[in-house]
Structure 1
Amino acid sequence: MKFTPTTTLFFFCAAALANPVPAPTIVSCLTDGGLNVEQSPNWQTSTTPFNARFHYTPKAIVYPTRTSDVSKAVQCAVQHGVRVSPLSGGHSYSASGYGSQDGSLVIMFRDMTEVSYTGDGIVTVQPGAHLGDFALEIYKYGRALAHGLCPHVGLGGHAGFGGWGLSSRNWGLLIDQVVGADLVLANGTAVHISPTENLDLFWGFRGASPSLGIVTQYTMQTHEAPATVWGLTAPKEIGIVANVWQGGKDIEMAGYYMGNQDDFDRVITSLLSATGPPSATYVQERGWIAALTEADGGAPLATKGTAEPHDTFYAKSLVVPTYSPITKVALAALVQYFTTAPLPANMSWFIQFELWGGGNSAISSVDARATAYPHRHHHWTCQFYGRTTASWPSQGTAYVNGLVNSITDHMQGTRFGAYANYLDPELAGWREKYYAAITRDWQEFRRKLRKDDFVVIRNCPPVSKMKRFKLETILHSPEAERELQKALHAEPHQQ
C-alpha cells in the first residue's frame, strides 16, 4: 500500500502527540552540557548556610571544575531566565551565595580549589579555596598574603569586596595583591583581566567583583612570609583587633607585629602609654602559620575533610572615617547601652574594632579612585555581632542595631560607611554606606561597559540600582534598554 504525503504527515503528528518531547529545563541544559548538577529536595547538607537564620532552596546546584563549565552554566541560566549566584565558601552573613531567595542556580566552587605557585612570588588560586588551606599551601613556598582570619571563609567571596586581615596595614587588602583574574560575564563570555588587559573591568573587579561577573581564577603577588611575628594581647607593621565581649568588663587587644623584638618593644611601649597599663599581657614570638592560627583563637587552618561551621546570628559593621574618630561621648553611650539595655534571652554578643588606617597604612596608601573599593581613608572597621544557640530572639536584631545606634546617634555629622564582607541584609541606606565614595566612578564605568557591549552579571549587593542576583543582558535592543531603565529606577528588594 502506498501512503500519500498527507497520510504520512498525519501519522507522524499522531506519534509526536503520543510521545511529546519534554520541554527543555535549566537542569537538562546543564546536564546536556556535561556539567555536574545536584537537584534534590533532600539536599539539606548542600544548602545549609553559615548563618542559620536563613535558608533558601535553589533551582539546582552545579559544581564546575573549569572556567568553561561556569560559562555553560551562566548561558543555561540566561536561556531559562534563572538567577545565578556563585558560592565559594558559603560563609556569607546573609546566605547570599545561595541567591538570597528560592529558585536560583547556585554555582558552587567545591571542586575548584587549586592553588599553584608559579615562581617570582606569583600564585594562581581558584575561588573555592578556603583561606586556611590557601595560607598553608603558599607557605610551603615561604610565601604569605594579607587576608582574613577565619579558615573556612572562601577566597572568592572574601576577595570580592576587599579582603582585610591583620597584615593588611603592611601589605594592603587582598584585592591590592591581585594582579590578574579570569572572569565570566553574564552572557557566559570568559575574559582575562589585569593592569594591561580589560583595564576598566580590572578597576571594577577590585572592590565590587560580584557586580561584574564570576571569578574563576585569581593571580596574586605574594610576599615573603615573616620568619617570626611578635604577638600582643602604630606603624604599618602592626595589626590590631580590640574585642569587647558581652558584659563589657574586659577589653582584649590582640594582634601581631611583623618585625624584630627591639622594634616591637619600642612600639608596644608607646601603644601602652596611650591606652594605659593592661591587667595582663601575653607576648610571644611566633612563626607565620602559628600566628595565623592564634589570630583566629587557635582553630586549625586546614579545613579539608572538616565539618563546615554554622552559627545563628545578626551582624552589622561601621566603617569609621579618619577625619572623625569615635568620640569619647559616643563610646560612653555605647558602654551605657550594653550595660543597661535588656539583653534578649539566650543571646550573647561581641564587638570587634579592627585597625585599618592610621600612620602609613598600605590600605590608605592606594589612591581612592584607583580601585572600586570605597573605604580607603577610614581608620577603624567595627563589627557588631549578636548570636544565639537557640532560635533567633524577636528582639535580637533590635539589640544589635542599638549597639550601632549608640555610636552613630552621638556623631550625627559623621558619614559612616559599612563593609560589604560583613553583609547586613537589613541595612537601611546600604548603597550609600557600602559604595558612596565610588558611585560616580561606577556610573562612568557602566557607561563604558554598555558602549563596548559588555554584559554584566549582578550579585549582592550591587553597586548600581539593578535588582539583586538577576542576570541582565545589557545589549543595544529596545527590550533590554527598557528593562534596564525600569531596574535603574527600582529599589532592590532586601532579603
Structure 2
Amino acid sequence: MSLLSLLLITLTLLLTATTASPTPQQHAARFQQWSGPPPPYARRTPPSPLQRQSSPLIDPELLAQLRRSTSLALAKRQTPHLTDAELPPLVVPESIQQSSTLVSCIYNMGINIHTPADASFWNAAQSDNLNYHYLPLAVAFPNATRQVSDCVRCAAIHGNVPVSARSGGHSFSGSGSGGQDGALVIDLSALKSITVSDHGLRDAYVGPGARLGEVVKVLWANGQRAMTHGTCPTVGVGGHALCGGFGPLSRAWGLATDAILHMDVILSDGSFALVNPVEHRDLLWGMRGAGNHFGIVTRFTFQTHDVKGKNLTYIEHIWHESIPTPRHFANLLDGITAWSSRKDMPAELGYHLQVTPSMSKVDGKGNVHIRMRGIYMGPKSAAEMVYSTLWPELRSRGGDSLAKPDGGSQYQEMNWLEMMSEWDDFGEPGDKLNTDKERLEHNNYVPKTTLIRTNPAAPPSSGPSVGKKIPLDSWESWATTFYDGAKHGVGNNKWSWNVFMEMFGGHNAYHLRKNIRDLSSIPFVDGMWLIQQTVGTWPGSIVDSEGKAWVRMMHDALATGLKKGGITASSYGCYQDPDRADWLEAFHGDGVARDRMFDLKDKYDPNNLFRNAQSLGSKAERDALKAAAKGQGGVTTGGEGGGWSHDIHPLPRSL
C-alpha cells in the first residue's frame, strides 16, 4: 500500500446522510410494522447508580510489564487484524481468572474474550491508528445483543471498568483499543447483518459491525437502494453514524446520524432500550451525534433512498504548476470559497479539496498539488453548468492559470455503485468496496481538525463569523507552512502530510437546516469548511517528534490566521484529537445543548461507564473539575488531552 493510500484512509472519513424526518406519529406507525417486542431482559427505565468494587483488576507490576510488551510487539510487527473466526480458541489461565472478576464474569457467560495472557491478544486489541494504542484489560467479541448486555453488566458490577465499543476500529484517537489503559473493549464485528425491509419505505436494518463497503453492496443488491455514509469502505457503521457522519452527499441527504430512525441500545446497567422518536426520545437526540457517551447500539434502522436509474456525475479538477506560491494558493481558495457561498449553490453538489506535496519543483520553489473532487447528484450537463460559475471567480483572481486547471479536469456520469467505487482511492483493484483485505491493514498518523464557522446560510445568532469572508492573508499564512515543507522535503521519506478541505456548509445544505440540527446533539449549524491536516507513516513505523511538531505547526498556522481575521473555528466530533485541551467546547459547544448532554449522561450513564480520555464524565467528576477550576480562577476541561483521564500513550510508549 502506498503512503498516499495510507494517508487517504486516515483522511476520507467523509460521511453521508438522509432526508426529512417523519413525525413521531409516522414513526410509531412504521415501528409497529417491523419492531417486535423487546427481549425478556429489557428494562425501559434509566439505569440507577450501581455499586462499584474498588479492588484493582490487574497488579500494577504486571500492568507495567504488559505495557512494555505491547510497545515492543507493535513497534516491531505489522501484524494485521484477525477476524473473529481466525482467532484461536480462548484459554483463560486460572491466574487471570482470579485476578479479574470481570474477565471471569464474561468468560462464564460463554462470550469469546481475549486477555493479555492470550497469544491472540495483541491482534485482538489493535485498532486502525497504531499511533495511539492502549492496553485494554480485555477484548470481548459478543455475537448477539444479549451478549453485549452481559458484557456491559459485568463491567458495571465488577469495578465500573471503562467500556469502549468498537465497530470498525477507525477512531482517530485509538478508542478501538479502549482510549485509555485498563478498558474493556467490546468488539461488535459479529453484529454485522444488513437487511432491507420489504415494505414500501425500504428501511435498512444494519448491525454496528457492518462495514460501509458492505452496506453499499447489500443495499444496491436489494432494489438499488442507498443510504448516505462515508466513502472509506472499511469504516464500521456504529461509531460512524453515532458521531455524525459527513460526506459528499450530506448537503443533499443530511448527515448519517440524521438517517437514524431507530436504535436498539444497551444502557450502562446492561438493560435494553428501544430508542426512537416515540420511546426514549431524549436519548435519540443525544445519540444522534454523541452516542458513544450514552450506550451501545446493537442494531440501527436507517432511512434509504431509491437510486435506481439515477446517474451521478464524478467531478475532478487538479492544479499544480499554476499555483507555485502560497499567494497563488490563497487566490485559488479565495475564489473557490466565494463561489461556494453563492445563494444558488445546489444541495446536490458536494466536494473536497485535497492538498499534497508535489514530487516536482516549479522554478526552484516547493510546490503542492490541489485536487478538487466532487459528486453531483445529476447529469454531466447540469454539473458543468454549476461549475461554469466557478471559472469567472478564479479568472478574476489569477487569470487562466487558475481558471483552467493545469493538472486536468473531468466530468463522468456513473451509477451509485460505480460512484462509490470510483470515490475510493484505495482497496482491491476491480472491487474497491471489498473490505476483507483492506480492513486487515493498519495505519499510523496524527490528525488535526478545524471546522471554520462562516456558513453564510446560518442564522446570525449561531455564531459571530456567520457570512464573514476569510481574509486572503489567513489562507496565505497557512499555505506558507506546507509550501516551505514541500520545498525542503520535510519528513525525509519517514512521513508525509496531507490536507483535506471539505465544503461542509453553504446555502441549501439540508444537513445544516436548523430544524434538522435540532433533532441531534451536533452543534455548529454555522460550519462551512471542515479541514483535516494529517501527518502519517507506514505500519510498523512511528510518527516521530518532528512529524508531530509539523502537523501541529500547520494546525496552529491556520488557527492563528483565522483568529487574526476574526473568524471563529471549532472541530468535529467524529475526528477526535487526543491532545486537544479544549475538546469539550470544540466538539460539543458551550451552550444549552452541551448542558442537555450532561443531563442525559447523568440520567443514562450516571457512573460514567462508557468513557475514555474525552468523555462527558459523571456529575461528581464534573463538579470536582469545576471546583478545581474555580480555585485557579477559571474553568478548565482538564490537562493534556482535556479529558477525565490522561492515559494517552502514542506508540511506542515511554516507560
Normalised to the residue count of structure 2, the TM-score between the two structures is 0.66
**Structure-to-structure mapping, 1:40-439, within 5 angstroms:** 40-42=117-119, 43-81=121-159, 82-119=161-198, 120-141=201-222, 142-225=224-307, 227-233=310-316, 234-247=345-358, 248-275=367-394, 276-279=403-406, 280-297=408-425, 299=427, 300-304=432-436, 306-321=438-453, 322=455, 323=466, 324-341=468-485, 343-345=490-492, 346-367=494-515, 368-389=517-538, 390-412=541-563, 413-436=566-589, 439=591
Report if the CA contact (8 A) 2:179-2:613 is conserved.
no
1:1-35 deviations in whole A, cap 9, x for unaligned? xxxxxxxxxxxxxxxxxxxx968711210122222
Amino acid at match of 2:596: E
Normalised to the residue count of structure 1, the TM-score between the two structures is 0.87
Q: Which runs of 5 or more structure 1 residues have no equivalent in the other structure?
A: 1-20, 467-471, 473-480
Cα distance in structure 2, aligned partners of 1:420 and 1:442: 13
Cα distance in structure 1, aligned partners of 2:498 and 2:205: 35
* 1:487 Cα deviation after fit: 6.5
Q: Secondary structure at the match of 1:152?
A: coil
1:367-408 deviations in whole A, cap 9, x for unaligned? 343310113221110110111234322121111111122222
The answer for the alignment partner of 1:13 in structure 2 is none
Report if the CA contact (8 A) 2:244-2:255 is conserved.
yes
* 1:352 Cα deviation after fit: 0.6
More helix by proportion, 1 or 2?
Answer: 2
Report if the CA contact (8 A) 2:114-2:124 is conserved.
no
Amino acid at match of 2:164: S
Report if the CA contact (8 A) 1:136-1:302 is conserved.
no
Aligned length: 460
Report if the CA contact (8 A) 2:197-2:205 is conserved.
yes
Q: Secondary structure at the match of 1:166?
A: coil
Cα distance in structure 2, aligned partners of 1:461 and 1:221: 33
The answer for the alignment partner of 1:29 in structure 2 is 105
1:263-312 deviations in whole A, cap 9, x for unaligned? 22211222333342212112211111111111121531121355522122
Cα distance in structure 1, aligned partners of 2:559 and 2:437: 43
* 1:456 Cα deviation after fit: 5.8
Q: Secondary structure at the match of 2:480?
A: helix
Superposed CA RMSD: 2.3
Q: Secondary structure at the match of 1:94?
A: coil
Report if the CA contact (8 A) 1:208-1:463 is conserved.
no
The answer for the alignment partner of 2:594 in structure 1 is 442
Ranked by relative contact order (alpha carbons within 8 Å, sequence separation 6 or more), the top structure is: 2
Cα distance in structure 1, aligned partners of 2:206 and 2:315: 31
Cα distance in structure 1, aligned partners of 2:621 and 2:387: 57
* 1:192 Cα deviation after fit: 0.8
